[in-house]
Amino acid sequence: MIITDIIAKKRNKLELSTDEINFFIKGVTDHSIKDYQISAMLMAICINSLNKRETYDLTMAMAKSGSMLDLSEIPSIKVDKHSTGGVADAVTLALAPLTASLGLPIVKMSGKGLGHTGGTIDKLNSIPNFNTEIKIEKAIEQVKNINIVLMEQTQDLVPADKILYNLRDVTATVESIPLIASSIMSKKLASGADAIVLDVKCGSGAFIKDFDNAVKLSEIMIDIGKKAGKRTVAIITDMNQPLGNSIGNSIEVVEAIEILKGNITGKLKDIILVLGSYMLLLGNKTDNLDKAKLMLEENIINKKGLEKFRELIDAQGGNSNIIDDYSLLPCCKYKAEFISEYDGYITSIDTSKIGAACVETGAGRHKKDDKIDYGSGIILKKRIGDKIQKNEIIAEVFASSKEKIENALSVLSTAFSIGNEKIIPSNIILGILDNKI
């Protein structure tokens, strides 16, 4: 086979064979295909798309480009959860220990943040001495002992995706739905999960902005899951405003702990309960979603979820005293308040700009090698539908320098719309798709 022939075939809107897709991914992985040829193929796919069969073949070729994890040593059904990326998305920090406290084995591999969306690994790394770089053998042993591990993706997991994603990021092909689906599902299938719960974000703070495309992405991913023999549920969630009120790293850890302590309600807790209920259902810990929600609520009330988080921090070398003393977490020297210039109601929030403002504080990255300031970030005081008065605080900004504060405030100045009529915000759950194998 010749790569230029395959590129031309997709450029001409023709269907690629399984062998052609396997040839392409093999060439990506062993570097026999040049970056400019990979980029041309990505653009051809972005413009002309892939059908479901092509997308499945691409996903499986990517999944098999590195190690396929075998978690069979761990008893019970392993359920993985994935978010397509959001702002103030501290879900995993609370959801993972909460579901683990109910007997569901959790082997969760996560990544670092890039752009306006945060990364779970950055949040965990804000906990003093917490180790996220764990070999799979140790991870399996830890799950056998305490039922949970939260770790970085291993280097040999889906190496083709790392190459493709880096090129997608610089060739304006990130938003291709087949490429998004294959990137997500290849990692989930290679990670050894028996079942998968997908949190598909939709709105101003998500990569997928509109509901129809969120449904399309969800349908493709659950089709891939079905063909791979994995029960897969896709839950489409609203990202037209930040999920929680804290955007950053250490401050999101605090918010997750407060949920596990039972001190916070709202959209962040709501989505944790929905995702957790499906995880327990797919993991055969209950046969009823209502029962699952009650089980989760009970383990918040009795603090078993919180104690599982403490156990997790201890197991991975972190200082679990942060649960009782937040001053042990990183914090920043400078603080500023973002003030409303008008009376009225918050009518909309450009969530991607909130994420971008958070990056300006130092809590996120412009480039992959940027260093994170774990104590910086933003805390929202107002959300869509809230009444606001002139000179009232909309948000608090934390950073290590006055310059970073000013840069963040400048971005925030265009993120909020204020009007005269009260707006009712969207429901957090916009849709649920289930392949019901």
The residues carrying an active-site annotation are: 82, 161, 168, 183, 187
385: left (phi over 0), alpha (psi -120 to 50) or beta: left
Please report, as a single letter, which amino acid is at residue 90. A
Helix 289-301 with 91-100: angle, nearest 10 deg:
100
Contact call for residues 384 and 348 (beta carbons, < 8 A): yes
Q: How far, in Å, CA of 255 to CA of 318, rounded?
A: 18
Measured CA to CA, the distance from residue 85 to residue 175 in angstroms comes to 13
* Residue of 184, 195, 190, 194 whose CA lies nearest to 221: 184
Rounded CA-CA distance 258/344 in Å is: 30
8 Å CB contact between 222 and 183? no
Token duo for residue 156: 């040999």
